[in-house]
Structure 1
Amino acid sequence: MSDSPRPAALSFSEFEPLSAAAWQARIARDLKGADPADLRWETPEGLTLEPFYHREALAALGNVPAPQVRAVRRAAPNSWRNLPTLLVPAGTDGRAAIDHAARALQGGADGAHFDLSEPEHFDVGYLAATLPLEQGVWGFTVCRQPEEFTLRLVDAALDRPLRGFLRYAPGSNSSPDDYALLVHGLRRCVQLTRHLPEFFPLAVNGQFFNSRGATAVQELAYTLNTAAVFLDNIPADDLDLDVTAIAAALHVHVGIGPSYFVEMAKLRALRRLWATLLHAFGVRPEVAATLRIHATTSSWTQTTLDPHTNMLRVTTEAMSAVLGGADSVSVTPYDSLYAAPNEFSSRIARNVPVILREEAYLDRVADPAAGSYFIETLTDQLAREAWALFQQTEAAGGLLVARGKVYESIRLATMEQFRRIATGEQVIVGTNRFQNLKEQFSFDPKKLLRSRQFDSTRAAYPSEVLRLATAMHFIRKELKKKKAAVVLLGTDTIQQIYDSFVRLLPAEQRPAMSEVPARGDLSLLFSTPEEATLMSARPEQFQQFADFVRNRPDDSEDDGEQLQHEAPVLLACDLPTMQDAVRYFGFKEFTVSGYSTDDVLARLQGR
């Protein structure tokens, strides 16, 4: 405002200003002949980051970017919201989750995000009677009939000013463009909530890409490609839904990983690119300024090994989300991969944002990263690279047409991450470095590997599944069980096992692989009471093998779970049948010269 007092310019006249060249000369002198270029480092996105940044970096951007402001309740303090995600399983009406949300409000939460397995059974009447809908922020993920759920929700809220979002996600393996199956239903959701300017019924699911290992550039670009599909296909003139109405109803879900500065810059780049995208569609700038971003700590980086390290990961992830400008944050409980929801881990997860707000005061500044030479440069780099990839995908026909190429590019990025993890270039604390070799699992590895809910798409999976399978193998060996098991380790994992193993040996003792499996082959661990054998198989071989083995009447392992229709991670049956099946379906044995698989596994487990 024109009558606001202007701050006095800071001046440190006793210090002479130094140029970037002067700093570089000092760095070269301190390095005593070493090349300063060696201090640069490359991100997985291919960006080159300098060892230091100077105010001249802002000049290279053209001008100093304006600070970014959150969309929702931007004038109020505490403008970002702490929204725990509460799972509502099938066969329940959600009352237990609603009661949990009520307790969470007393413990520092600002609302909740309900993930509904059966939205038609969720008791919205109890929700409206129990929770202060007009005061908190409330999110809902539904897997079907979003328009029917929205109608029930709006009716239950009556005239209260509901704030929050709806996300339609048909299933855990659904594509973010599967909304196309229900365009008319989503249009109805927009119509039903037009009187609620702070409720966003259309979700752009960027978290889908993040949870599958996409780089920050890929996540940004493909999120924009998904939004472009919404803006192209959902407007309907006959329903008075133009592109501006659709843009105003959109919000974005993102996953946040542990790369602290990159994730912070990613969110800042997203706001910048969102304005560019909407401008291209002819939408007014003030609509772009209302973008709501919901950030969830990444499932991609969660681990089952040394799981308390997940508490530390989600802390840096939540900080990146808050400092990057997210409007709401969900922190995942540290034991969510293997344990049922419980009060202890839920409380810890809920308290991470509470501490960031109440003790670290991260709600007091609108854009803490504004003006940082490094963060502003990184934001600009991510935005430029992501926009170029977005345009490339649009030129190929957009996300719906180029979906196969998009998924293949993400697969290649994940395989590169798996390789770096296997070789130790990328560290996962407690999994591939600094392991607790005496760790005692608080869960049954066998049951976890057989569980339908076990997430096998994560970065740590190829490393930890070997550890889990090895633990199960040694238990089986010690107990001399008369059954055998085959554990699916993943694609191309044998090479990663070999790389991890040889790193533990002196250079002169490093053996060669007897046979390199074909690219794309599945890696398997065949475990008997006497020994373990690493094997590889083509996907169709393993599928046929799995179909045969799981139809055996004794394939139960006493856990009472039904097997999936797709090939499961763990298969077990009597030893003669398993041995015959492995031979019949032509699995290839993998050996390391001079070492048995038991030797390899024991060395990797620190035995």
Structure 2
Amino acid sequence: MTPDAWPPAGADDWLALVEQTLRGRDLGELSSTTRDGIEIQPLYTDGPERPAAAAAAADPRRSAKGWDIRQPHRLAAAGDALEELRSRVEEDLAGGATSVELDIAEGVDAAGLDRLLSGVDMAVTPLALAPHADMDAAHALLVLAARRGAGLAPGSSLGLDPLGEWARSSRRMDCAEAAEWAAQNVSSGSLAPGVAAFTVDVTRYSDAGATEAQALGWATATGVAYLLALVETGVPADAAAGLIGFRLAATADQFVTIAALRAARVMWSRVVTVSGGSEQAARQYQHAVTAAHMYSRRDPWVNLLRGATAALAAGVAGADSVTVLPFDHASGAVDADGSSGRRLARNTQLLLLEESHLARAADPAGGSFYVESLAEELASAGWRVLQDVEASGGIEAAIEGGALAAAMEESWQRRLGALRTRSEPLTGVSEFPFLDDPDPTRHGSNEAEDAAGLPVRRLAEPFEDLRDAADRHQSATGKRPAVWIAALGSTAAHSTRTAWAQNLLAAGGIETQGATGVDSPVAAAADFAASGLAVAVISGTDDMYRLRGTATASALAEAGASFVALACDPGTPADLLATLQSAGVGEVWHDGIDAAATLERLHRTLGVA
């Protein structure tokens, strides 16, 4: 049959196949919701008639030149070796990076920057200062550009973000002073078109636990504050909008990231145009950064997948520049100079640009019913957050009064609950952890220390803390904490729940022994007693539990088990569980339990500090 001869298929045909696959279960089981309560449907057959994102498109020049591959570099103290950092910057640029972001310490002046950037053509290579509130650093970069005579390349940014720094550090900052300084440099010609003075750092909010809509609303409110401050100094709306760039988080949730970046452009375009700016000026400059909070210390190689997915999403969404953090960003470099992490971060983007040609399409996500619908809903939700902030006095009032921090804490606690119950699973951490992961010698973390205000809340931390405690126990005793699995019946019968229990225990750094299947309670007790362990977990089917569960639990207790747990399902009959608990089962474990709390209790039982 040729393709032309295939019968047309519609939504009803798809639904019929889905219902056949679901075998009586409800179609709603295929739906999910975002952290903002937006429903993700299993199928989209329609979308917005006139998608707002289509009118707030990305820079069309991307299809010719791609996006900037922006590599981050950090100088932790003014006395650090500038020559070493200079060589790393030049290595990145020679290896395919097209842009540099510098996180420099206070006290680095124009002479220090000149040494650091001695091999960089500032008129060609966009340079961005990581978000900060130090006008001396911004001034130093401008002074250096003036000395070299060619100015800063378009796409560069001085990185001033006084309100973001206020939120992050709890030190009050004044954006009016920064706006006045920027206006003076615009008037003098030191700040050329295409170079931003301000960076609205959305990653501060995302890394502290904000939802996508919250981050969008607060970022736009921050942009509004900078825009108003610049206009009040006499800078025209078009020029003021061009002085503001946005630094957004890209996560491994691919489609939510695509929709969020599109929603950010929609919201900013609306702000600028109602402020009297042109449609050209309303185009938002977006620097997407793979979110630090999604990086794990344990099994850091999985971060390569997270970073690649986030980079792909940022590219599809139309970001102007993209930073992929090294896979060992949270764990510390796996080699002495961090070159492996930086190289793989660069190459991730080079593959997307030069082999997948991802930037060749002007708007890869345009026309997708799913993406367009989600972008509209996120923009609407983010706009409501913006309106609430403005109604309460603006972003400064939200920061100073604690409303922003309180809202973020509430959002984080909800997400923390999902992480602890593993309803939001983390591969290599809470799901499929590599228990025997060799912990290579680290050469210092790339993460900055948490400030007094908004922290960086990594998703993996609850389970990494458990793994760290188990490792300390092993170092102190010479043995990894362990439990015995009394698997009832044949491998085919018990393997599903046995594997589930082993996966759960490994997330807490606990190894399992046994798990081979026994044919009687007496055999289970004998094997357990021979192991010398103190804790046992029973696994098997519900039918096997009815047949041997009670006797097995009693036999294990008589054999010296100080604690017995049972692996089951949420739907295991309550009467069966009650019978087993009366026979000595201390806890029942199944999907949906607070896995972190369960493992914390088990650690105490096993003497893990």
**Normalising TM by the smaller chain, what interval?**
0.7 to 0.9
| 1:425 aligned partner | 423
Deviates more, 1:78-87 or 1:170-179: 170-179
CA contact (8 A) 1:117 1:143 kept: no
Task: Say whether the 8 Å CA contact 1:67–1:370 is kept in structure 2.
Answer: no
Aligned to 1:381: 377
The 5-angstrom pairing of residues 315-334 of structure 1 reads: 315-334=308-327
Residue of structure 2 equivalent to 1:300: 293
User: In structure 2, how many angstroms separate the alpha carbons of the residues matched to 1:168 and 1:207?
Assistant: 14
Q: 2: CA distance between counterparts of 1:74 and 1:444? A: 41
Partner Cα distance (1:113, 1:51) in 2: 39
Q: Which residue of 1 aligns with 2:27?
A: 36
**Residue equivalent to 1:551:** none
Say which of 86, 101, 109 aligns to 1:98.
Answer: 86
Question: Which moved further from structure 2: 175-184 or 355-364?
Answer: 175-184
Q: 1:250 aligns with which of 218, 240, 244?
A: 244
Distance 1:102 1:301, change over 3 A: same
Q: Mark the CA change 1:451 to 1:440 in structure 2 (over 3 Å): closer, same or farther.
A: farther
Q: Secondary structure at the match of 1:167?
A: strand
Q: Residue deviations 1:130-153, cap 9 Å, x none? A: 212222221112552345324323
Alpha-carbon distance change, 453 to 210 in structure 1, aligned in 2, over 3 angstroms: closer
Q: Secondary structure at 2:246's aligned position in 1? A: strand
The Cα RMSD (Å) is: 3.6
Q: How far apart are the structure 2 equivalents of 1:179 and 1:107?
A: 40
Q: 1:467 matched to which residue of 2?
A: 467
Q: Are 2:148 and 1:144 aligned?
A: no
| CA–CA distance in structure 1, aligned partners of residues 473 and 21 of structure 2 | 53
Match of 2:167 in 1: 175
- The equivalent position to 2:366 in structure 1, one of 357, 365, 370, is 370
Bigger helix share: 2
Q: Letter of the aligned partner of 2:245 in structure 1? A: H
Give 1:77's match in structure 2, choosing from 41, 50, 64: 64
SS at match of 1:597: helix
Q: Secondary structure at the match of 1:390?
A: helix
Residue 232 of structure 1: SS of its match in structure 2?
helix
Structure 1: where are the runs of 5+ without partners? 1-11, 480-495, 514-522, 525-532, 535-591, 603-607
* 1:446-525 equivalent positions in 2, closer than 5 A: 457-478=457-478, 505-506=566-567, 508=581, 509-511=585-587
> Counterpart in 2 of 1:116?
104
CA 1:30–1:466 in 2, change beyond 3 Å: closer, same or farther?
closer
Report the equivalent of 1:560: none
Task: Give the secondary-structure state (helix, strand or coil) at the position aligned to 2:357.
Answer: coil
Question: 300, 305, 309: which is aligned to 2:302?
Answer: 309
* Aligned residues of 2:218 and 2:395 also touching (Cα < 8 A): yes
Structure 2 match to 1:280? 274
CA contact (8 A) 1:119 1:149 kept: no
Aligned mate of 1:134, from 120, 123, 127: 123
Paired residues, number: 489
Q: Is the 8 A contact 2:220 2:386 kept in 1?
A: yes
CA contact (8 A) 1:150 1:192 kept: no
Q: More deviation in 292-301 or 462-471?
A: 462-471
Q: So what's the TM-score if we normalise by structure 1? A: 0.72
Alignment partner of 1:270 is 2:264:
yes
Counterpart CA distance in 1 for 2:292 and 2:459 is 9
Distance 1:121 1:62, change over 3 A: closer
1:348 to 340, 344, 354: 344
Q: Which amino acid aligns with 2:606?
A: D
| Deviation, structure 1 residue 302 | 0.7
Q: Which residue type is aligned with residue 348 of structure 2? A: V
Q: State whether structure 2 residue 40 is matched by structure 1 residue 49.
A: yes
3-state SS of the aligned residue for 1:197?
Answer: coil
Cα separation, 1, equivalents of 2:607 and 2:422: 17
> For residues 219 and 182 of structure 1, what CA distance do their matches in structure 2 show?
19
- For residue 327 of structure 1, report the CA deviation from its aligned partner: 0.4
Q: Structure 1 residue 308: deviation in Å?
A: 0.9
Work out which of the residue numbers 360, 372, 375 in structure 1 matches 2:356.
360
Distance 1:379-1:64 versus aligned 2 partners, 3 A rule: closer
Larger radius of gyration: 2
Q: Is the 8 A contact 1:86 1:112 kept in 2?
A: yes
* 1:151–1:192 CA contact under 8 A, matched in 2: no
8 Å CA contact 2:157–2:195 kept in 1: the answer is yes
Give 1:423 shift.
Answer: 1.0
